[in-house]
Amino acid sequence: MTTSIEIKRVEKSNISSVDFDNLPFGSVYSDHMLTCDFVNGKWQSPKIEPFAPISLMPSAKIFHYGQSIFEGMKAYKDKDENIMLFRPEENWKRLNKSAKRLVIPEIPEDIFMDGLKALLELDSDWIPTNEGSSLYIRPFMFATGNGFHASPADAYKFVVCTAPSGAYFGGKVKVLIEENYARAANGGVGFAKAGGNYAAQFYPTQLAIEKGYNQVIWTDDNTHEYIEEAGAMNIFVRINDTLLTSPTSDRILDGVTRKSILQIAEDNGIKTEVRKISVTEVVEAAKNGNLKEMFGAGTAAVISPIAGFGYKEDDFDLPVLENPYASQLKKLITDIQTNKTEDPYGWRVMI
């Protein structure tokens, strides 16, 4: 470890109050958090302290101009109690890509990686070992500098919190292909994990929920003719035996799970294509029986199969397959993440 980290431990752990056999997603929090402040033009020494409220002035620019970005990661334990991360350097790179777009100072790799490892070692007992569970990790950065002037802040805070979590989705997921609203636009911040991207999704998603769907499939901002993402995840579509996903762009997040699925699929004999996918193509494939699967892919759910979709007042059910790509790929990727198989890619990082 190259970074000096001040550690203040909790007086009494809350872990005894947690039911690890019935974990919700992201609403039970571990004992400690990592914090680091950017003031006077530089990042200060990081600290690990008890999980607690953060105090800010009402004039802090995060409240007024939305300079806020985040990442999503997971930590796992294998049968020998080894702690593992999955491609953490990709999350660090993407956090800084988001930071640059929102004029937030980039976080140095040693603060990110050394701080994360120290936090996981301290709260290692919080990492679940139940099948399907993990320790969800939320690194985020936001503006703490004060002022009502519409300009970037002069101070920021980097925080990492963790939450032992069960499955993100339960049951079948039914989605609505969006015809009016857009998640992001060319030249915008759709490729960044900016908090405002997700806030803007809530209203169209709520409208879809009121119609009986669980999520929205986002389409392009200009014509709404091409599908792009599934809720807060990248989307994959299987037509016959080919697995399709949209290319990354200003509007589409470069998902770590997405790029991992593409690599694993190709290496296991599944044909993939990265190209624009038209709504018409998907609807026609559903009508003629060539649409076999649709699923979302992201850190939280890993892979979330879609049972059916709606478009222009019509509903389409996807077939129930005996051995779908979604199940095959989820097992292949989670076996790597949890050290149940060899990792030929060097993605698994032991703490």
Cα 105 from chain centroid (whole Å): 21
Is 45 inside any structural domain? Answer: yes
350 pLDDT band, cuts 50/70/90, is: very high
What's the whole-number mean pLDDT along residues 270-293? 96
Q: What CATH number is associated with residue 210?
A: 3.20.10.10
138 and 227 inside one domain: no
Which of 98, 132, 165 delimits the end of a domain? 165
Amino acid (1-letter code) at residue 262: L
Q: Does the pLDDT at position 2 exceed 80?
A: no
Spatial CA neighbour of 126 closest among 256, 10, 46, 37? 10
Is 342 inside any structural domain? Answer: no
pLDDT of residue 301: 83
Query: pLDDT by residue (tens digit) across 154-176?
Result: 999 999 999 999 877 667 789 99
Question: 309, 315 in Cβ contact below 8 A?
Answer: yes
Is 53 inside any structural domain? Answer: yes
14 and 159 inside one domain: yes
Spatial CA neighbour of 220 closest among 256, 253, 174, 252? 252
Q: Does the pLDDT at position 145 exceed 70?
A: yes
136 and 187 inside one domain: no
Q: What CATH number is associated with residue 161?
A: 3.30.470.10
Mean pLDDT of the chain: 94
Which of 112, 147, 165 delimits the end of a domain? 165
152 and 229 inside one domain: no
User: Across the strands, what pairs with 230?
Assistant: 217, 233
Q: Residue 69 has which token pair?
A: 């970005």
- What's the number of domains the chain is made of? 2
Instruction: Give me the helix-helix angle, 256-267 and 88-101, nearest 10°.
Output: 140
183 and 216 inside one domain: yes
17 pLDDT band, cuts 50/70/90, is: very high
Spatial CA neighbour of 218 closest among 245, 192, 181, 255? 181
Q: Does the pLDDT at position 65 exceed 90?
A: yes
222 and 104 inside one domain: no
pLDDT of residue 177: 97
pLDDT of residue 1: 53
Domain that holds residue 134: 6-165
Question: 226, 278 in Cβ contact below 8 A?
Answer: yes
Is 350 inside any structural domain? Answer: no
pLDDT of residue 125: 96
126 pLDDT band, cuts 50/70/90, is: very high
219 and 145 inside one domain: no
